[in-house]
Structure 1
Amino acid sequence: MTTIAPHTDLRRWLAHLADTGRLAVIREGTPLKHRLAAIAKRLDGRQAAYFPRPEGHEIPVVSGFVARRAWIAEAMGVPESQLLARYRHAAEHPLPWIEVAPGQAPCQQVVHRDRDPREVLPIPTHSEHDSGPYITAGLVIARNPETGVQNVSIHRIQVHAADRMALLVLPRHLQAFHQKAEARGQALEVAVAIGVDPLTLLASQAIAPIDRDELEIAGALHGAPLRVAKCLTNEVRVPADAEIVIEGRLMPRLREPEGPFGEFPKYYSAREQREVIRIDAITHRRNPVYHTIVPAEMEHLLLGAIPREATLLAYLQRSFPNVLDVHLSIGGVARYHLFVKIRKAHEGQPKNVICAAFGAHYDVKQVIVVDDDVDVHDPLQVEWAVATRFQASRDLVLIPGAQGSVLDPSTTVGFDFADGAPPPAHLQGLSAKMGLDATRPVVYHEHVFTKVRIPGEDEVDLAAEIDRDAKIDLGAA
């Protein structure tokens, strides 16, 4: 695997983007409500946005610094073609973190107690109907109450009070930890780390076993153990070089209204009773940088897609070694639509791959299987394969009534509960799954399914072929 030194420091990564024309410095004073997110969205995927003194706040805000797939590969130090393999290797070979001595962590250089985070931090309000300011790039870190092993994940966090924050907790590891603590009548100690390097940010989204600390995957991506620090008010370990940390407790049997909030499917999720973090302290570096993710834009989508792709590829290849590549399409909100490339050996194999993909992650709603002459990262090629190699009467797989994403609004159509209440948990995300076998037959006559190409087309060097000084004489009209 080809590698160069990865980018393991947020500030050096931002400097690198600036040096290569990929960071735009915005005029001072940008309003935190809507305007900051609007500017970052306009720059999405072209340049990261850096906001000095937003709304007069001393702490600058940055957004969009991993908003392209190629940038994430660059941060890893690998070619884009090796992105999933490098991530998968790190997930399978974690490195235990090392703890810095007390008082040595940059993230604890400044300490605030009994301070409203809305005063200390420049927290934006992003979308039109969001219920208020949200932390969107905070790594929520918690310890398993039984084993002490940590989990790291990103959650939307509504900052609605001076000492409390409500967050969406889906049925994953953080919820399992909280339920264990809640059953004992105990709070779950947590920390929210904001402003970490791009690889630690990506590691937080790993689909890993419940006894795997994602900070160890971050170390593997770094190529060296991650430096961590013990929180000042609890036992949680956080990235020592994070810009900002909020320490607190996920309270037992306390729920408060959260939402609406514009989520990754580009729709709003409803206002509901959610879990609550009670804040104990805020710590940060001297002159910190605050990171915000604009919901439903490329930074948000890619951070979710790449770890899922690596996991899905590994899962499928265990049963189907001829699966070559996978891609969660941006049009499918980088969660719901999966493209799978295979080297087909049996006519029934694509349907088996489809069924396996649905079992690999419940968010996956549609799977398209294509041949090895189709680039799954190019939606035009995938659509071409569907147009010319798929027949619905023969190649369609339909599975009604399966578990899907609770954030997919189409799953709630047809449910009618009193006063517009959401469906109960056991009915949320009830989804139909669709698979399309867009592969050509294993055996076909002559060139009927051979993709048209021109010999040498991929090797043409246009710079060498075009005479930029030549003029043509078209003669008189």
Structure 2
Amino acid sequence: MKVNTRVKNRRDYDLRDWLERLETTKRLTTIKPKTRLKFELAGIANRLDGKQASYFPAPDGHDIPVVSGLISDRRWMAEALGLEETELVPAFQNAVSHPLPSIIVDDPPCQEVVHEDPDLTKLLPVPTHNEHDSGPYITAGLAITKNPLTGLQNVAIHRLQLSSSKELGVLLLPRHTLSFFEAVEHKGADLDIAIVIGTSPATLLASQAVVPIDFDELEIAGALGGAPLEVAKCIDSDIQVPAAAEIVIEGRILANTRAPEGPFGEFPQYYGERAENHVIRINKITHRNFPIFHTIVGGGLEHLLLGAIPRETTILTSLQRNFTCVQNVYLTMGGVCRYHLVIQVDNPKPGEAKNVLMAAFGAHYDIKQAIVVDKDVDIHNP
């Protein structure tokens, strides 16, 4: 019998239901068994990018299959959330403004199997994506930590280098996770972390929300799906993770410890440099029966769209707060869904379009080029 812990009135798909939907609508390609994890898997996923999601049974002989490209089209993303494509950004705006507190459940599917002394190099099928990557990388892991001062959670995606059987290298940019860690590191303390692999499209998308500190992105995921998200406490910490997650890695970011991490092929399709970065020590791994490992190819459409929609939401909300003429915004694929912005306006006052442009550059630090067009221009048509 299929295990499904979704709240009944959620309108979105969980990961397994979404894979089934992709398969029945002929948007999922099953690749030959035993695809090599080093380069071959990512190469095939990249070849299918935007056209087909990919399912890799028994990669390199692993028991755990790998999936990629699950939401590599805006229409797919909207469908996975139970929305029309034009509703994506408004729905995200509403979810950020009206988050839904999560519901804690016992005996979650994500803890059906518990590995007390796991070997990362043997247990998980972690691909090596690019020629000059320093090694295998977990690219679709939601890193969940708690603010040590308030106890509130944060969810983010960080690149995670498979460094050894018990350690991951992690790049922490100057954002919320790093802020939490720095608050305890100066006391010589580690920071608990949970890394969640294999979640619903709504949870993946919510993890990229650009929101203030102490804003739990899992509550945004609940609002995106139309009902509270079911979560469960980790075994070794009070961190709450999606109950239906496929795999959960529990560990600690080590105080006063740095190790070489990188290079790694990043979203602009350039390599992020090698540096002395933070280290995560693994305590245990839990997972569902017959789990599924999700990987995201760096710079692929799935990667870019996960960043685009939350950024568009933040930018649109900021501009509409100050300019009633602003109707919509779009981050173009040519600007890797980060750098080039198109703004749609309706009947701006003389000189207002220039002010909108200036405000756009202040709405998000990534914007390098912005264009204003009238409402009769389809901003999503390249």
Give the TM-score taking structure 2 as reference length: 0.96
What residue number does 1:41 align with? 46
Specify the alignment match of 1:356 in structure 2.
Answer: 359
1:178 Cα offset (Å): 1.0
Q: Name the Cα RMSD after superposition.
A: 1.1
Secondary structure of the residue that 2:12 maps to in structure 1?
Answer: coil
What corresponds to 2:159 in structure 1?
A: 156
Alpha-carbon distance between aligned partners in 1 of 2:359 and 2:121, rounded to the nearest angstrom: 45
Counterpart for residue 98 of structure 1: 103
Identity over aligned pairs, percent: 57
Kindly report structure 1 stretches of 4+ aligned residues shifted beyond 6 Å. Answer: none
1:300 aligned to 2:303?
Answer: yes
Contact kept? 2:10, 2:227, Cα under 8 Å: no
1:291 paired to 2:287? no
Q: Give the counterpart letter for 1:31 in structure 2.
A: R
Which secondary structure does the structure 2 equivalent of 1:331 belong to?
A: helix
1:201 has 2:204 as partner = yes
Partner of 1:182: 185
Deviation at 1:236, TM superposition (A): 0.8
Q: Output the CA distance in 1 between the equivalents of 2:236 and 2:129.
A: 30
Deviations 1:20-69 (A, max 9, x none): 01100111010000000011111111110000011111100000010000
Q: Which structure has the larger Rg?
A: 1
Distance in 2 between residues matched to 1:363 and 1:116, nearest whole Å: 38
Contact 2:254 2:280 in 1 (8 A): yes
Whole-Å separation in 2 of the counterparts to 1:79 and 1:220: 16
Matched, 1:7 2:6: no
Instruction: Return the alpha-carbon distance in structure 1 between the equivalents of residues 379 and 243 of structure 2.
Output: 38
Supply the AA of the counterpart residue of 2:97. Answer: E
- Letter in structure 2 aligned against 1:39: I
Aligned partner of residue 325 in structure 1, secondary structure: strand
Alignment of 1:226-305 (within 5 A): 226-305=229-308
Q: Is the 8 A contact 1:324 1:341 kept in 2?
A: yes
Give runs of aligned pairs for residues 45-444 of structure 1, distance below 5 A.
45-101=50-106, 104-379=107-382
Equivalent-residue separation in structure 1 for 2:229 and 2:186 (angstroms): 32
CA contact (8 A) 2:218 2:229 kept: yes
Letter of the 1:305 counterpart: A
Q: Which has the higher contact order (CA 8 A, sep 6+)?
A: 2
Report the Cα offset of residue 8 of structure 1: 3.2
Instruction: Give the secondary structure class of the aligned counterpart of 1:345.
Output: coil
Which amino acid is the alignment partner of residue 16 of structure 2? Answer: R
1:378 Cα offset (Å): 1.6
For 2:336 and 2:14, how far apart are their aligned partners in 1? Answer: 28
Structure 2: 5+ residue stretches without partners = 1-8
* Aligned equivalents of 1:341, 1:5: Cα separation in 2: 32
Measure the CA separation in 2 of the matches of 1:214 and 1:8.
18
Secondary structure of the corresponding residue to residue 183 of structure 2: helix
TM-score, normalised to structure 1, is 0.77
How far, CA to CA, are the matches of 2:153 and 2:225 in structure 1? 19
- CA gap of 1:250–1:5, structure 2 versus 1, over 3 A, is closer
Aligned partner of 2:202: which letter? L
Q: Look up the SS of the partner of 1:90 in the other structure.
A: helix
How far, CA to CA, are the matches of 1:185 and 1:92 in structure 2? 37
Counterparts of 2:263 and 2:204, CA distance in 1: 25
Which SS does the other structure have where 1:21 is aligned? coil
Aligned with 1:142: secondary structure? Answer: strand
Residues 6 and 74 in structure 1, CA contact (< 8 A), matched pair in contact too: no
Gaps of 5+ in 1: 380-477
Q: Render the CA deviation track for 1:242-280: whole Å, top value 9, x for unaligned.
A: 000000011112111110000001100110011111111
Letter in 2 for 1:25: T
Q: Counterparts in 2 of 1:21-36, with a 5 A limit?
A: 21-36=26-41
The 2-side partners of 1:333 and 1:263 are apart by 11
Which amino acid is the alignment partner of residue 162 of structure 2?
Answer: V
Distance 1:204 1:256 in 2: 26
Counterpart residue identity of residue 330, structure 1: M
Q: Is the 8 A contact 1:166 1:276 kept in 2?
A: yes
Equivalent residue number for residue 6 of structure 2: none
CA distance in structure 2 between the partners assigned to 1:320 and 1:251 by the alignment = 46
Tell me the distance in 1 between the aligned counterparts of 2:328 and 2:229: 30
Three-state SS of the structure 2 residue aligned to 1:266 is coil
Residue 5 of structure 1, CA deviation:
6.2
**For the residues of structure 1 that align with 2:127 and 2:363, how far apart are their CA atoms?**
35
Cα separation, partners in 2 of 1:5 and 1:105, compared to 1, 3 Å: closer
